Structure 1
Amino acid sequence: MSFWVFLWVLAAALLHALWNALVKTGGSKITAMLLVSGGDGLIGLAVALSRPLPSAEIWPWIVASGLIRTAYLLFLTYAYEQGDLSRVYPIARGAAPLIVLIVGAFALSDVVTVTETLGIVVLGAGILLMAQGVLTNGESRRLVPFALGSAVATAAYSLVDGTGARLMGDPVAFVGWALFVTSLIFAPVAIGTRGVGVLRAGGRTWLFGLLGAAASYLAYSIAVWAMTQAPIALVTALRETSILFAVLIGWLMFGERLGWGKALAALLIVGGVVLTRM
C-alpha cells in the first residue's frame, strides 16, 4: 500500500466516525439519521442510474439489503439516544466482523485460521470490556443490545450485499440501488415509529444530517477506490481505525469520559478486527 493510499484510507475511517458523530450531535437523532439515509439514497440513485439496470433476480437481494439496512439505522439511532459515541461506536463497529467470521465458520464452512481465531478472542475481550464499562459507569444498559443489534444488521447486510453484488456483477450499482431502497423504507418506518415530528428539523439538524450523508458516501467511495489500489485485507483492516477516531471525537468534542477501561477496550477491538482481516 502506497503512502497516499494509506492516508486516503485513514481519511475514509475519519469520515465514517464523523458521520456517526454528526448524527449523535444533531439534535433529534432519528431526524438526523433520516436525513443521512435520504441523502445517501439520492446519491445512490444518481450513481445507480448511470449504470445498467439490475435484472429481475437481483431485486430481491436489493430489497433484502434495504430492509436489513433499515434495521441497522434504527438500532444505531436508538443506541445513540441511550449512550456515548465512544461507547456505542466501538461495540457496533467491532462486533460486526466478529459475527460475520463466526457465521462464515459455522454456517458456510469457511476455514478459520489461527490468526483469525486469535482475532476473535481479542475482539471478544474488547467488546466485553467495553460493554462491562456500561455497568460500572452508570450508563444506560439499553445501549448495549441496540449497539449489538446494529452490529448484527451490519453483518447481515454485508453478507447480502456481497452475494447480491456478485450475482449482479456490478457492486457500485448494487450498493447505489440498496441505499436508495433503504431511504424509501426507512422514511415511513421512522415516521411510523416516532410520528410526523421527525420531519420537523431545525437548521442544525438539517446541516449535520446532510453533512453526515456526504461524509458517509464519501467514506464508502474512498474505501472502494482504495480496494482497487491495495490489497483488500489491508484496506479493511486500516479502516477499523475509525473506532479510535470515534473514541477520540467523543472525548475531545463531546466531553465523554475516557477512562483506561474504555481506551483499552477500544484498542483491543481495533487489534482484534485487524487480526481477523489479516
Structure 2
Amino acid sequence: MVVEPLIVALLLAAALMHATWNAILKSDQSDRLATFGIIMTTGTVMGLCVVPFVPMIEPAAWKYLLTSVTIHIAYYFFLLKAYSYGDLSHTYPIARGLGPLLVALVSGRMIGEHLRPQDIAGVLLLSFGLIALAMPLKNVVPRPGSRHGLATLFAMLTGVTIAAYIIADGLGVRAAGPTFEHRISYIAWLAVIEGPWLLVLAAVLRPGTVWTHVKRTWYRGMIGGVVANVGYGIAIYALVLGPMAHIAALRETSVLFGALIGTLLLGEPFGRRRVAAAAVIVIGLVLMNGPQLI
C-alpha cells in the first residue's frame, strides 16, 4: 500500500514542522525544560479548544491514548537529556531515524503489516546511515561516559520511545471511531492529557526562576507548540491512511530538515561524512515508502 500524494505532501510539511520545533527547543540555552513545558501546554490549550466540538472517542481507544501519554513522558526525558549532551545535527537524526526502523521491524508481528523486499533494503540503509551518523566527527573513539557517548545513548533511547508511541497512537487513532471527527477527537484528547506536566515539573524543580523564564520567552514556546501539535496531529491522522512503518518513515524525513537546521542556523559542525550519512538515511526512508519496485 502506497500513501496518497496529498498525504505525502502533508507528512513532508509535518516533518519540517517537527524539525522546526526541535530546533526552537535545542536553541534555548537558559531553561529547556520550561520551554518544552510551554510547547506542550500550548497543545493542551489547543486541544481544549477542540474537544467541545467533536464526539468522544470510543472506549477501546483510551488504553492506547493513556499508554501513549506514558511513553511520551519517557520520550521527553530522553530527548532533553540528548539535547543537553549533543548537537541537534547529531542527536536528532539518530532519534528520528531509529523510530521508523524499529516500527518496521516489529509491525509485522504486532499489527500484521509485513515488509516488502524494498522495505527491508530501506531498513538496511537506515541502519548503515545511523551507524555512520553516530560516529564522532574526529577519528577518535569516544571514552565511556563522554558527552558524545551519552548524547548517542539518549538519542537511541529517544528513538525507542518514538517507535513505541507511534504504534500506540496508530492503534489508538484507528480505534477512536469511524469518522474524521472521532480521529480529531483522539488527537485533541492526547494533547490535553499529555500537555501540562512538563511545565508543572519545571515549576516544582525551579519555582524561583521558571516563571521569569516563561514571561521572557513565552512566545518561543507558543510558536513551537503550535508547530509541534499541528505537525503531530497530521502524523497521527495519517496513521489511519497507510501502514505505520511507511507513515513513520516518511515523517522522519525530518532528519534531513533537522540536520540542515542544526548546521545552517545553529552553527553546529556537520562534515561531509554526516552529510552522506543523512542522505543515506533519507534514501532508506523514502525507499520504504515508495511504490513496489519488484
TM-score bracket for the superposition, by shorter chain length: 0.7 to 0.9
CA 1:184–1:63: 2 relative to 1, 3 Å: farther
CA 1:261–1:31: 2 relative to 1, 3 Å: same
| Counterpart contact for 1:93–1:243, Cα < 8 Å | yes
Aligned counterparts of 2:169 and 2:241: Cα–Cα separation in 1: 21
Structure 2 residue aligned with 1:79, among 82, 89, 113? 82
Instruction: Using the TM superposition, give the Cα deviation of residue 231 of structure 1 relative to its aligned residue in structure 2, in angstroms.
Output: 11
Show structure 2 runs of 5+ residues with no match: none
Can you list the C-alpha shifts for 1:48-93, whole angstroms capped at 9, x where unaligned? 3321123444333222111111211221111111111111111111
Equivalent in the alignment of 1:155? 163
Equivalent in the alignment of 1:142? 150
- The amino acid across from 2:227 in the alignment is A
Mapping for residues 121-140 of structure 1, pairs under 5 Å: 121-133=124-136, 136=139, 140=148
Aligned counterparts of 1:7 and 1:104: Cα–Cα separation in 2: 24
| Counterpart contact for 1:48–1:174, Cα < 8 Å | no
Aligned counterparts of 1:273 and 1:6: Cα–Cα separation in 2: 13
Can you list the C-alpha shifts for 1:20-56, whole angstroms capped at 9, x where unaligned? 1000112311111111111112112222332112344
Of 239-248 and 114-123, the range deviating more from structure 2: 239-248
Aligned counterparts of 1:239 and 1:31: Cα–Cα separation in 2: 26
| Counterpart contact for 1:79–1:147, Cα < 8 Å | yes
Equivalent in the alignment of 1:252? 264
| Counterpart contact for 1:98–1:120, Cα < 8 Å | yes
CA 1:56–1:135: 2 relative to 1, 3 Å: farther
Instruction: Using the TM superposition, give the Cα deviation of residue 5 of structure 1 relative to its aligned residue in structure 2, in angstroms.
Output: 7.7
CA 1:102–1:226: 2 relative to 1, 3 Å: closer
1:274 and 2:286 matched: yes
SS of match in other structure, 1:207: helix
- The amino acid across from 1:270 in the alignment is V
| Counterpart contact for 1:44–1:176, Cα < 8 Å | yes
Equivalent in the alignment of 1:20? 22
Of 224-233 and 209-218, the range deviating more from structure 2: 224-233
Can you list the C-alpha shifts for 1:149-178, whole angstroms capped at 9, x where unaligned? 221111111111111111221222112111
Of 169-178 and 235-244, the range deviating more from structure 2: 235-244
- The amino acid across from 2:102 in the alignment is I
Instruction: Using the TM superposition, give the Cα deviation of residue 237 of structure 1 relative to its aligned residue in structure 2, in angstroms.
Output: 5.4
Can you list the C-alpha shifts for 1:74-126, whole angstroms capped at 9, x where unaligned? 21111111111111111111110001111123445542211011011000011
Aligned counterparts of 2:183 and 2:74: Cα–Cα separation in 1: 21
1:262 and 2:274 matched: yes
- The amino acid across from 1:147 in the alignment is A
| Counterpart contact for 1:236–1:277, Cα < 8 Å | no
| Counterpart contact for 2:173–2:237, Cα < 8 Å | no
1:31 and 2:34 matched: yes
- The amino acid across from 1:181 in the alignment is I
Aligned counterparts of 1:160 and 1:115: Cα–Cα separation in 2: 25
- The amino acid across from 1:123 in the alignment is L
Aligned counterparts of 1:229 and 1:61: Cα–Cα separation in 2: 18
How many matched pairs?
276
- The amino acid across from 2:279 in the alignment is L
How much is the aligned-residue C-alpha RMSD, in angstroms?
3.1
| Counterpart contact for 1:89–1:246, Cα < 8 Å | yes
State the identity %: 32
1:172 and 2:217 matched: no
Instruction: Using the TM superposition, give the Cα deviation of residue 265 of structure 1 relative to its aligned residue in structure 2, in angstroms.
Output: 1.4
Aligned counterparts of 2:67 and 2:126: Cα–Cα separation in 1: 28
1:54 and 2:57 matched: yes
Instruction: Using the TM superposition, give the Cα deviation of residue 208 of structure 1 relative to its aligned residue in structure 2, in angstroms.
Output: 1.6
Equivalent in the alignment of 2:72? 69
Show structure 1 runs of 5+ residues with no match: none
| Counterpart contact for 2:58–2:175, Cα < 8 Å | no
- The amino acid across from 2:32 in the alignment is K
Of 5-14 and 241-250, the range deviating more from structure 2: 5-14
What TM-score do the two structures reach when normalised by structure 1?
A: 0.85
